[in-house]
Structure 1
Amino acid sequence: MPRFPYETVDVFTDKPFGGNPLAVFTDAHGLSDAQMQALAAEMNYSETTFVLPPEDPAYDARVRIFHRTAEMPFAGHPNVGTACVLARHGRDRGGVLRFEQMAGLVEIAVERNAAGEVTGAVIAAPQALSLGIELPAEGVAACAGLGAGDIVTTAHKPVQASLGVKFVLAQVGPEALGRAAPDLAAFRKLEGRNPELEGRLSLFLYARDGHAVRARMFAPLAGTWEDPATGSASATLGALLLSLDGGDEAAYTITQGVEMGRPSLLNVTSRRAADGYRSRVGGACAPMFRGEALL
């Protein structure tokens, strides 16, 4: 019976039982697409990764990312967590890992403490900021159980944005963020009325105090009622805020998962590049479990 080893880590935290859990299958050679999807559903985390040999030997791995119901082209905490797991196995090259993914090449810088132990990682999102459709404040508010007046539109309207994976970004007040709760019927209604979303409606709400941000992410249509730490959305938000604020570079600290009892801390740096606005996102990573899937 084939055995497929996996490890789990808590990402964007330095303590067990915080952050965003991730399962990493460190040698997925031999698994079919259907098996990978079934394993991701079985693990029941927001994402699970599968490490395969790279198509180009100049890179370190091909990493496929699945959430409970579909494959993703790119995601933040899966890359940070997978990099930490592989680096603990000595698979980085001078503190750097390069992953082939559907959205493009992802480069990760591994972080170590004075004793040489892997403590975290920082990833560069594979694409520059792109913006999609704007959505009505009342529809977005309904998805989060809020009123249209809770949506702050001073800087921007609720907008679909991406650095490799699409999110709807919407600003709210601090008090509204705390009482937000996903409304599945409202999600279905908003998604159905906007075919430009292409069936993906992941809502990233944030409240801002300068460069300190609190955030929550809801994606119930994809099986994630709430996500404790969303690196790709945080990186996208950083790029959007820099594009709105002006300047060449900015750093943001994003706190997420507090309402879930899984506090997470994400560090985002965004810069204006020749091809647009780009971001890096990083944080700590705590090892949790090891096991095998018997298939």
Structure 2
Amino acid sequence: MRRIKVKQVDAFTTVPFGGNPAAVVLDAEGLTEEEMQRIAREMNLSETAFVASSERADFRVRFFTPVKEIDLAGHPTIATFHALVEEGLIAPRDGLVTVTQELNVGVLPVEIEIEAGVAKRVIMTQQKPLFASAYAAVSWAKALGIDKADILEGYPLQTVSTGTPQLMIPVKSLTTLRLLRPDFEAMAALTEQGDFFSVHVFTLETFSEEADVHARHFAPTAGVREDPVTGSASGGMAAYLVRYGLVDKSSLVAEQGHLIGRPGLVYIDLEKEGDEITTVKVGGSAVTVMDGELFF
């Protein structure tokens, strides 16, 4: 019987039971892909992260939803590197520490702000944004249970990827977000026909004065009806907002999870060369809520 260490970490929050929970398997060496998928199904969270050694980076990290692998994921990255510092697998020296993770999309840096030996914020670098296909508003309005008039006029429903392709849907208000009634079968069918992994719906109305945007996220084909706080999509969303002139700044704060009882904050920084967005960084805090072992 094998025993592996597992932590459950709430990402994009500083308090337990907020933000987005991720399971982190700290010693995934030797696990098969099938075993990783079965463990992720057992954990039954949006994602489970598996950490192993790498010849190309400081760590090899893979992410699995309950039903499939995802190449790049935000909140489990925040959770993973919080856990690695907590376990002493990253030297807890105070200041800004930079390490690298090997993902399915390549090697990317992760910065960790450490204070008194504790990871106060983890900042992941995502890929340069790729803007892909656009979609008809009427089909998605129906699938989300809203009127087409509730979608922000003059802006595309478009796939944006900073490592994971996600469909961006801007809507007019928090009221619209609150009243979403997703038809998950219809959403899954549309997703299967598209070039994206999941769907990110957002508005410039926020609960907090600190925030610039509020979002909800759905991934029905990945076994995740609603994701509480989504780091990968927050990076793509920020790139979308800047590209289409909906915000005029390079540092943004995104709210998510408030409407389902798991509020979280995501901090996004963009770097540009001329009009082109070249770098996307997504950061947040995390807190461990469970530490134990899995037997199988």
The two structures share one fold, judged by TM-score above 0.5: yes
Residue 283 of structure 2 corresponds to which residue in structure 1?
Answer: 282
1:273, CA displacement in angstroms?
3.9
Q: Which moved more, 1:204-213 or 1:34-43?
A: 204-213
Give runs of aligned pairs for residues 71-150 of structure 1, distance below 5 A: 71-92=69-90, 95-113=97-115, 115-125=116-126, 127-150=127-150
Tell me the distance in 1 between the aligned counterparts of 2:269 and 2:76.
Answer: 18
Q: Is the 8 A contact 1:119 1:286 kept in 2?
A: no
Does the CA-based 8 Å contact 1:68-1:223 persist in structure 2? yes
For structure 1, list consecutive stretches of 5 or more residues without a partner in the other structure: none
Q: What is the Cα deviation at residue 244 of structure 1?
A: 2.1
Where does the alignment leave 5 or more consecutive residues of structure 2 unmatched? none
- Residues 1-295 of structure 1 aligned to structure 2 (within 5 Å): 1-56=1-56, 59-92=57-90, 95-113=97-115, 115-125=116-126, 127-154=127-154, 156-174=155-173, 175-192=175-192, 194=193, 196-197=194-195, 200-209=196-205, 212-245=212-245, 250-273=250-273, 276-295=277-296
RMSD of aligned C-alpha atoms? 2.0
Q: TM-score, normalised by structure 1?
A: 0.91
Measure the CA separation in 1 of the matches of 2:185 and 2:117.
Answer: 49
Given that 1:163 and 1:232 are in contact with CA atoms closer than 8 Å, whether structure 2 keeps it comes out as yes
CA distance in 2, matches of 1:201, 1:225: 13
CA distance in structure 2 between the aligned counterparts of 1:97 and 1:8, rounded to whole angstroms: 22
Following superposition, the deviation at residue 247 of structure 1 comes to: 9.8
CA distance in 2, matches of 1:143, 1:167: 16
Moved more, 215-224 or 268-277: 268-277
Q: CA separation of 1:201/1:291 partners in 2, compared to 1, >3 Å: closer, same or farther?
A: same
SS at match of 2:77: helix
Q: CA deviation at 1:90?
A: 2.6
1:30 Cα shift? 1.9
Instruction: Quote how far apart the aligned CAs of 1:209 are.
Output: 4.6
User: Structure 1, residues 240-281: CA drift from partner, whole Å, max 9, x if none?
Assistant: 222222999611110000111000110111121487442111
Q: Secondary structure at the match of 2:250?
A: strand
Is the Cα contact below 8 Å between 2:191 and 2:221 reproduced in 1?
no
1:249 touches 1:269 (CA, 8 Å); kept in 2? no
Count of equivalent residues: 286
Q: CA deviation at 1:220?
A: 1.5
Deviation at 1:7, TM superposition (A): 0.8
